Structure 1
Amino acid sequence: MKTLFEIIKEHIMWREQILKLAKADIVKTYSGAALGWAWAIIKPTVMVLVLWFAFSIGLRANRDINGCPYILWILAGMVPWFYMSAMISQGTGAILKYRYLVTKMKFPISTIPTFVGLSKLMIHFFIIGIMLIIFIILGHFPGKYILQLPIYLLLMVIFFTFWSLFASMLSAMSKDFKNLVRSFVTPIFWLSGVMYDVNSIEVGWIKILMLFNPVSYFASGYRNTFIYETWIWQERIPFICFMIMLLVMIVAATWAYNRTVKEIPDIL
């Protein structure tokens, strides 16, 4: 608990610098590219269209789901995945990317994954806006259930910020861990219910495991908000399973920080 309070205190004391560095991270990510910020939209748009073509045209799986076109169902699951995948892969290398803040400045290590995550969140907000426009153009106006979207967003940001702290600390100690995580991004995508409904799984033990998968939880959460029109409290068991995983992630991140924070400056 002492370490956790220390991390929270550093975030409060350095909150202004965190916001400034989050903006700088976005600029740094897309600087030098002719299209600049447009790449933040082009890549996910192309991926959604390719997947829609593959499943709707190629495999002829196109169908309305709860009154929504299949492309909207895919979009509702893919939008949170773009943020989560960025946090899984890029969040893992956050401290290595900004090692100069550790070696040349007295900047709190715990805040580095946070401002990297905030930069991804800013882009995520923009993509959500585009998703809402697409929903409206296709005649599906978001209802009252969109009021719960900030709850899913908050939970997603908290979980993957602690994940980034945990993973980036271990990656700073060993680059093999970073490579290991990146090699699992694609398997996580196909095993986490981003492209299918986890509730349709018939094998009992696999379905139980999915309840403890945060990626599945948020993909389903966005679909509950935009497609199935289900309140977050109506999915009590998935919520409890997620909160267990969130607690585990907080403990793991705090442990990793406490064990490695003094060694990382020398290693970097």
Structure 2
Amino acid sequence: MKIFRNVGSFIADIFVNRRLVLALTKKDVKRRYAGAIFGNLWSFVTPLLQIIVYWFVFGFVFNSGPVNGVPYALWFICGIVPWLFVSEAISSSSNSFTEYSYLVKKVIFNVNILPLVKIFSSMFVHICFMILVFVVAMCLGYFPTLYTIQLIYYMFCSVMLVFAIGLIFSSVMVFFRDMNQLIGIFIMIGMWMTPIAWQVSILKGYAWVENLNPFFYIIEGYRDSLLSRAWFFEHGEVTLYFWIFTGILFVIGITIYNKLKPHFADVL
């Protein structure tokens, strides 16, 4: 089928250009705050302040207690850090074609790697924050276990989901610049609809609805890995749903990209 050929060709292009992806990622990290006095330090200060503000509001103002025996501060950080990566990666990858318009206009350049470049650039900051999470966890008595290794799997999940979403948004963004504002709304709604600062148990009989939220799968996966609760294959049905959902998004993204790509240069 044509759809599968398109997907296969798309993935093959990325694999062939894997070294270029890494080279552009390094450049993107360096140029993100080029000219700023504190440089890449801003990549950590802003999200760190977000974490502190949310933690203060929910941990002290609303007096949230331990969650299943886990200190609220640790439980919250294990959820907010992956979300900060997802939200930043979606936002930056969605602007990839417009930001790198000079590359998009080059006929021989495979522009399909650009959203992935922005995602990997965001991953650099994410890994640094994960080191902070490990430090906080160990200070509270939670040391790495065998479960921790599956963080690699959940990072891969987040990259694939964000790549699919970013491919759709970035392709549309070239023609509809107001999409940038809609993405901000999408991220804000996603933040509060995902149990990051609140417990899914408050939904009572409707807690199952959150299993339809692919971001919930990633957030809970990080918590399972860091707090030694469960392996990903123990959530068989939810895992299957996540990959089917992500796969469908990926096919939609590639289809939209292939249809709009021939007109990118004309608009940019």
Pairing of 1:199-210 with structure 2 (within 5 A):
199-204=201-206, 207-210=207-210
The answer as to whether partners of 1:18 and 1:115 remain within 8 angstroms in 2 is yes
Query: More displaced, 78-87 or 212-221?
Result: 212-221
Structure 1, gaps ≥5 residues long: none
Aligned to 2:103: 101
Q: Give distance in 1, aligned partners of 2:107 and 2:31.
A: 19
Pairing of 1:224-239 with structure 2 (within 5 A):
224-227=224-227, 229-239=229-239
Q: Give distance in 2, aligned partners of 1:44 and 1:137.
A: 21
Q: What letter is aligned with 1:181?
A: I
The answer as to whether partners of 1:169 and 1:260 remain within 8 angstroms in 2 is yes
Question: Secondary structure of 2:144's partner?
Answer: coil
C-alpha offsets along residues 123-166 of structure 1, whole Å, 9 cap, x if unaligned? 11111111111111222212221021111111111121121112
Pairing of 1:26-41 with structure 2 (within 5 A):
26-41=29-44
Q: What letter is aligned with 1:56?
A: G
Question: Secondary structure of 1:38's partner?
Answer: helix
**TM-score (structure 1 length as normaliser):** 0.93
The answer as to whether partners of 1:65 and 1:227 remain within 8 angstroms in 2 is no
The answer as to whether partners of 2:145 and 2:228 remain within 8 angstroms in 1 is no
Q: Give distance in 2, aligned partners of 1:106 and 1:89.
A: 26
Aligned-pair distance for 1:252? 0.9
The answer as to whether partners of 1:88 and 1:160 remain within 8 angstroms in 2 is yes
Instruction: List structure 1 runs of 4+ shifted beyond 3 angstroms.
Output: none
Aligned-pair distance for 1:177? 2.2
- Aligned with 2:7 (options 4, 12, 18): 4
Q: Give distance in 2, aligned partners of 1:224 and 1:8.
A: 30
Aligned to 2:20: 17
Question: Secondary structure of 1:33's partner?
Answer: coil
- Aligned with 1:45 (options 28, 36, 48): 48
Aligned-pair distance for 1:104? 4.4
Q: Give distance in 1, aligned partners of 2:109 and 2:198.
A: 42
Q: Give distance in 2, aligned partners of 1:87 and 1:211.
A: 22
Q: Give distance in 1, aligned partners of 2:204 and 2:255.
A: 37
Pairing of 1:138-177 with structure 2 (within 5 A):
138-177=140-179
Aligned to 1:70: 72
Aligned-pair distance for 1:103? 1.6
Query: More displaced, 111-120 or 130-139?
Result: 130-139
Q: What letter is aligned with 1:133?
A: V
Aligned-pair distance for 1:234? 1.3
Q: What letter is aligned with 2:259?
A: R
Task: Report the identity percentage.
Answer: 26
Aligned to 1:220: 220
**TM-score (structure 2 length as normaliser):** 0.93
The answer as to whether partners of 1:198 and 1:216 remain within 8 angstroms in 2 is no
Q: Give distance in 1, aligned partners of 2:11 and 2:174.
A: 21
Q: What letter is aligned with 1:2?
A: R
Q: Give distance in 2, aligned partners of 1:40 and 1:194.
A: 21
Question: Secondary structure of 1:96's partner?
Answer: helix
The answer as to whether partners of 1:66 and 1:228 remain within 8 angstroms in 2 is no
Q: Give distance in 2, aligned partners of 1:106 and 1:26.
A: 24
Q: CA RMSD in A?
A: 1.6
Q: What letter is aligned with 2:169?
A: A
Structure 2, gaps ≥5 residues long: none
C-alpha offsets along residues 95-144 of structure 1, whole Å, 9 cap, x if unaligned? 11111111246311111101111111121111111111111122221222
Pairing of 1:180-195 with structure 2 (within 5 A):
180-195=182-197
C-alpha offsets along residues 7-34 of structure 1, whole Å, 9 cap, x if unaligned? 1222122221111110111111121222
